[in-house]
Amino acid sequence: MLENFLENTQELSKNNEPFAIAMVVRREAPSSGKTGDKAVINKFGELAGWIGGGCVKSIIIKEAEDAMKSGKPRLVKIGNALPAAKQEGVIEYKMTCHSEGTVEIYIEPVLPAPHLLVMGNSAIARALIKSGRTAGYRVTAVAPDAKPGSFEKVDELITQLNLQQVKTNNASFIVVATQGEQDETALEQALSKPAAYVGFVSSRKKKAQVLAYLEQSGLDKKKVERIHSPAGIDINAKTPEQVAISILAEIIQVQNSLPGAAGFTKYDETREEAGKPKFYINPVCGVPVDIKNPKHVIDYKGELVYFCCDGCKVKFEADPKKYMEKDKA
């Protein structure tokens, strides 16, 4: 069990995938989850391990998604007999199914390091890569004919000006620091990838010329307008190292303005992309239900409503309008 748990976390970390670790830290019998039980939840909402079955599993999948989105850990308490007064720092779920006992589960999100992609082999590119590594970024260097020793400790080295095989997401940061060496090609490649930031190291005069060329070549104007140029915050930088610091400062500014935790994609969207079954939020208890494996399904005015347990179905049938209006609100 522990071996499988470690293998899962190592594999996800190796692939730079976000995940969450859930562990039972307290239990009141007869809950099926025991103290010390643990599980890993990936970005698809798939749970490997054991922290309890039924509603507990579904609740933890939901809270793991929220933890990964926010980047913040949480303590979740699930049971039939919850205290009347809400406990500070504890997310409480009153069990609606017939399970007994109580479990407290700690969820810790594990997010990949933010991704910095630097194009070019200029002095500024090398300084930015060094600064990015120091600041905790996972760095990809892209430079034609670059050698393994051209850059200091990069995570990924691409020796062609082609990003087709490079994985980026909406929280990646791309900087074109080619400085006269195929600037237009590098920018076209950068703008073809999902990213939170695309920066171009240039003078204002060079920027105007290159961006005008890109628009004349038929590149979408909205895409071209995404380019930050001259890249970096104006600190009157003089040396490559100072320019790199100004660029990194601008990237950090953008990163800290992103909604939620950088690099995490909502698992429902990601699951659909991967052909995985989608979740439906149970309108009674707010627990996600796998639409391919629900406990009950009711057709309410042409809409299929999915339930995780008998208790939720019975409550819904007693007053369906109440729950459907609450859900839409």
Q: What is the pLDDT of residue 12?
A: 93
Burial class for 230, CB neighbours closer than 10 Å (0-12, 13-18, 19+) = middle
What is the Cα–Cα distance from 218 to 229, expressed in whole angstroms? Answer: 20
- Residue 173: pLDDT over 90: yes
- Residue 278: pLDDT over 90: no
pLDDT in tens, 283-327: 888 777 878 778 899 999 999 999 888 888 999 999 999 998 865
* Between 204 and 4, residue with greater pLDDT: 204
Q: What is the pLDDT of residue 96?
A: 63
Which contacts qualify for 293-299: CB closer than 8 Å, 24 or more apart? none
Q: 11 is written with which tokens?
A: 């594999």
| Pick from 89-98, 127-136, 152-161: least confident | 89-98
Q: For residue 289, what are the β-bridge partners?
A: 280
Q: What is the pLDDT of residue 101?
A: 81
- Residue 230: pLDDT over 60: yes
Which contacts qualify for 88-95: CB closer than 8 Å, 24 or more apart? 91/63, 93/55, 93/59, 93/285, 93/287, 95/55
Determine what percent of the chain is predicted with pLDDT higher than 90. 54
The answer to whether the CB of 141 falls within 8 A of the CB of 132 is no
- Residue 40: pLDDT over 60: yes
The answer to whether the CB of 4 falls within 8 A of the CB of 48 is yes
Give the residue-averaged pLDDT of 119-131.
95
pLDDT in tens, 200-217: 999 999 999 999 999 999
Q: What is the pLDDT of residue 79?
A: 83
Domain spans in the chain, listed from the N-terminal domain onward: 2-110, 115-255, 277-328
pLDDT in tens, 231-268: 999 999 999 999 999 999 999 999 988 876 665 655 55
**93-97, 103-107, 262-266: range with highest mean pLDDT:** 103-107
Residue 217 neighbours by CB under 8 Å, 6+ apart = 184, 188
Residue 143 neighbours by CB under 8 Å, 6+ apart = 119, 120, 121, 125, 150, 151, 158, 159, 161
Q: What is the pLDDT of residue 269?
A: 63
Q: 282 is written with which tokens?
A: 């149970």
Q: What is the pLDDT of residue 98?
A: 59
Expressed in angstroms, the distance from the first to the final Cα of the chain is 42
- Residue 224: pLDDT over 90: yes
With CA atoms as reference, report the closest residue to 58 among 326, 297, 307, 300.
307
Q: What is the pLDDT of residue 265?
A: 59
The letter for the amino acid at 188 is E
- Residue 143: CB atoms within 10 A of its CB come to 24
Q: What is the pLDDT of residue 54?
A: 74
At the fourth CATH level, the homologous superfamily of domain 115-255 is NAD(P)-binding Rossmann-like Domain (3.40.50.720)
In this prediction, residue 191 has a pLDDT band, given cuts at 50, 70 and 90, of: very high
Q: What is the reported pTM?
A: 0.76
Helices (H), 115-182: 123-134
In this prediction, residue 277 has a pLDDT band, given cuts at 50, 70 and 90, of: low
Residue 6 neighbours by CB under 8 Å, 6+ apart = none
* Between 55 and 109, residue with greater pLDDT: 109
What is the Cα–Cα distance from 46 to 276, expressed in whole angstroms? Answer: 9
